[in-house]
Structure 1
Amino acid sequence: MKMGSTNPLFKGQSLSFPKKLFPFALYALLPLALLRLYLYPLRLPPPPPDSHLLQSTITSSSHSSSSESEEEKPNETPPCDYFNGKWIRDTRGPLYNGTTCGTIKEGQNCIRHGRPDTSYLYWRWKPAHCNLPRFEPISFLQLLNHKHVAFVGDSMARNQLESLLCMLSTVSTPNLVYRNGEDNKFRKWHFASHNVTISVYWSPFLVKGVEKSSTGPDHNKLYLDLVDETWAKDLNQIDLIVLSIGHWFLHPAVYHEGDSVLGCHYCPGLNHTEIGFYEVLRKALRTTLKGIVERRSLDNRDDGIKVTVTTFSPAHFEGEWDKFGACPKTEPLLEKEPEGMDYDMRKIEVEEVEAARANYNARKFGLEVLDVTKLALMRPDGHPGAYMYPFPFADGVKERVQNDCVHWCLPGPIDTWNEIFLQMIRNWNNDHPGEVIG
């Protein structure tokens, strides 16, 4: 039959004739379709999670697709930037809790002090273009085998140190071998399983300083051209040093350099020039990094020293520090960039590390930044708040309650600092195969 001819069975009718039967066929099939749905119902999607978790899922899916694309083109994969990303839900929770880790300072033991909400424990940091592995205590101890890690600085250095000790203690027992000073400001632990030593040195300015006291002047004294010997005298025994400063520079102080007074910060009645604290922070960090490199250069050891600077960790006070609700948030922020003082403090710390890296032998002196400012800024829910004291509302809500919106609950967001720290150590080791840190 030629194309375009009519079917002899339907002489005089077009091939479009069956279309007239289409509605009848549809009605005939409809009962069959309903029977199929009755016997095999469709599965509905699960109810949507909360907005934060939904955002996390979207972000994760997007990352998964991009990762597959990147795997196809490995040469185009950018290096992992651990410091830009989002906080996403993590149902696994922390490696430890406040009742099993004996090294937590009481003021940061939020679980033991009765904090009623626990959602702050179930978030983890997700970098934008890569994954941050969960902390592996055994890997940390193996990489630091026969080494000494020292945390030097203010109470944020201690906060990070205690987080690390708690995570390591899940696989190996730390033995406290030294302690001294008020509030145990100088302590040292030894992990016999791997011959690893971890210590903390109280030095809130890193340079030489005299802290204000109730019996003396109501301001600090800083000597910006001299490192603090309370930790510097032990430099030849340290393989990796973590520096953390910032918050103490906000306090009233008089600044000395050589035999002269440079100026002061908030010192009415002392007849000194007000110069703020930004450039003072810069000078203190510059003196510190220069001092570390010069002293270890004189040591004539081939293995050098690794130096990490943990950047400024923002506070989250809302209103007056001594009133109830000073940091009441219970979830992370979806997005927040450092600004104002937070931005300026971080910028100075990053710039000084970069300058030191350019000036000194980077092969012998590993100089790195642990840039936690943004990821810390996004966690207003992670502070002890009123639970810096045990059960602060057991007798009802008080009119005035002191809050801690500077330090971090343990366990809590600061555990992430050490997850990134471990990756930095791994990168150091990968850059120089066959060489363990130090």
Structure 2
Amino acid sequence: MGSSSDLYNLSNGRKKKFTWSYLLCALIVALVIISHFYYNQSININSLYNSNSVSQIDPYPYPYPFVDAPSQDSDQKIIVTFPAGGLDSNKTTTCDYSKGEWVPTNLEPLYNGTTCGTIKQGQNCVVFGRPDREYLHWKWKPQECDLPRFDPNTFLNLMKDKHVAFVGDSLARNQLESLLCLIATVSKPNLTFSGGDDNRFRKWHLPSHNINVSIYWSPFLVKGIEHSPDRQNFNTLYLDKVDERWAGDLSSFDMLVMASGQWYLLSAVFHYEDQVLGCHILDNCTEIGFYDVYGKALKTAFQAIVQRRRSIEHSLDVFLTTFPPAHFEGDWDKLGSCSKTKPYKAGEEVLQGANAEMRRIGVDKVDEAQQMFKEGRVRFKALDVTELSLLRPDGHPGPYMIPFPFKNGVSDRVQNDCVHWCLPGPIDTWNEILLQMIKNNRAT
């Protein structure tokens, strides 16, 4: 670079010394400032990804939200920060995953009936001959945000060295098997224990991250005697006594997912404090329905968790999967079917009646339980899937609960399963939401 006199001579004799030098220096300083600004921005973005366990290669074709603390007005809402308006935007939006609609997607499920070995036979719809595939190509779109696709690696990293337990009825098992199939795409679970009728008590180990996953059969969550052809044709429940088959292992759990409700619709005698409280669908006994007793059972189960975890240092996250509606077109025990092949559109089906009330009771009892235990080591959340499940009458096995039910040209109607869900299928969305709630808990 020339001297100041050189610059003076090149300016056609003008007497303004150092003008070009000043301009050049100013330009260099500006470039340094701009470079420093963008360098710091890139560091901030990377730290956001690292701190929230976001996959660096996200297969989902929508913005991945950065999860923040839950809103103060609802335990079922999650604050998510989107990069709308620029990656340095501070705008946030409240996302209620329970409200939304099903929209078409070209994405294939993460697994199928031949790649996952833990699917219960009656829910392996494609392998059992279901001819349509459209039910596999819908994704849940919440009203206020996008729901990320399930990331198995994120789940594994969050649950490293932990014990995840599912407790409840066959829908709890259905959700568990969905989760195992999603995880198995990157880490194979090894079955380490199996017991009880129909293998209702099982445990798997994931050696890659030292994770234990268990399922405990407990359709009432409280102590109960199930109906049996050789004993009685009704259930007997003790609403003030927790089921020790799962409660006895509470000290070992790090995460607990509970699901119960469908069995409360069946004939039963209800006991409370060593007295018969009433019955449901039984002669010569006071009919008391099932709403109040379901609430009492949840309260008993949650109180047992609170009481037995008070002296335990490590934390426990408890999720109650809210009541998922069935879709029988007719009576379930009179060959009712579920023949629809598409989800309901927005406004086509409304959450009401028993479905709405069972959901409300579950959410209310979760809120009460959270108030009982404020120390922070146990957190209760409602995994609210009732409405999104209501909108998926197409997602059940239907007649394909048995292999190729029409292979012999049978024209008569056959037994349908309109309660459980095909795997893969809509129930995978429950675990997508569950993972977002786990991430949210870790962020608080």
Map 1:6-405 to 2 at 5 A.
Answer: 77-269=92-284, 272-297=285-310, 300-321=311-332, 326-335=337-346, 336-361=349-374, 363-405=376-418
Letter in 2 for 1:327: C
Deviation at 1:165, TM superposition (A): 0.2
For 2:276 and 2:334, how far apart are their aligned partners in 1? 37
Q: Secondary structure at the match of 1:301?
A: coil
Q: Secondary structure at the match of 1:79?
A: strand
Deviation at 1:77, TM superposition (A): 2.7
* 8 Å Cα contact 1:323/1:403 also seen in 2: no
2:79 corresponds to which residue? none
Q: Secondary structure at the match of 1:135?
A: coil
For 1:386 and 1:129, how far apart are their aligned partners in 2? 36
Cα distance change, pair 362–89 in 1 and its aligned pair in 2 (3 A): farther
For 2:299 and 2:111, how far apart are their aligned partners in 1? 37
For 2:333 and 2:286, how far apart are their aligned partners in 1? 31
For 2:409 and 2:334, how far apart are their aligned partners in 1? 14
Deviation at 1:237, TM superposition (A): 0.8
Cα distance change, pair 232–322 in 1 and its aligned pair in 2 (3 A): closer
Deviation at 1:140, TM superposition (A): 0.3
1:428 aligns with 2:441: yes
Bigger radius of gyration, 1 or 2? 1
For 1:121 and 1:108, how far apart are their aligned partners in 2? 13
Q: Between the two proteins, what is the percent identity of the paired residues?
A: 56
Q: Secondary structure at the match of 2:332?
A: coil
Cα distance change, pair 368–396 in 1 and its aligned pair in 2 (3 A): same
**Structure 2 unaligned regions, length at least 5:** 1-61, 63-81
Deviation at 1:292, TM superposition (A): 0.6
When the two chains are superposed, the root-mean-square deviation of aligned CA atoms in Å is 1.9
Deviation at 1:363, TM superposition (A): 1.4
Q: 1:371-420 CA deviation, whole Å, 9 max, x = no partner?
A: 00000000000000000000000111332300000000000000000001
The TM-score, its normalising length taken from structure 1, stands at 0.80
Q: 1:226-258 CA deviation, whole Å, 9 max, x = no partner?
A: 100111111111111000001000000000012
Q: 1:2-47 CA deviation, whole Å, 9 max, x = no partner?
A: xxxxxxxxxxxxxxxxxxxxxxxxxxxxxxxxxxxxxxxxxxxxxx
1:43 corresponds to which residue? none
Q: Secondary structure at the match of 1:291?
A: helix
Deviation at 1:321, TM superposition (A): 2.9
Deviation at 1:301, TM superposition (A): 2.5
For 1:73 and 1:141, how far apart are their aligned partners in 2? 29
Q: Secondary structure at the match of 2:323?
A: coil
1:417 corresponds to which residue? 430
1:8 corresponds to which residue? none
Cα distance change, pair 198–81 in 1 and its aligned pair in 2 (3 A): same
Deviation at 1:70, TM superposition (A): 6.9
Letter in 2 for 1:196: I
Q: Secondary structure at the match of 1:249?
A: helix
For 1:190 and 1:252, how far apart are their aligned partners in 2? 37
Deviation at 1:320, TM superposition (A): 3.4
Cα distance change, pair 323–110 in 1 and its aligned pair in 2 (3 A): farther
Q: Secondary structure at the match of 2:144?
A: coil
Deviation at 1:79, TM superposition (A): 2.1
Q: Secondary structure at the match of 2:239?
A: strand
Letter in 2 for 1:319: G
1:18 corresponds to which residue? none
Deviation at 1:73, TM superposition (A): 11
Count of aligned pairs: 364
Cα distance change, pair 322–398 in 1 and its aligned pair in 2 (3 A): farther
* 8 Å Cα contact 2:336/2:415 also seen in 1: no
* 8 Å Cα contact 1:322/1:400 also seen in 2: no
Q: 1:322-356 CA deviation, whole Å, 9 max, x = no partner?
A: 66671010001112331001000000000000111
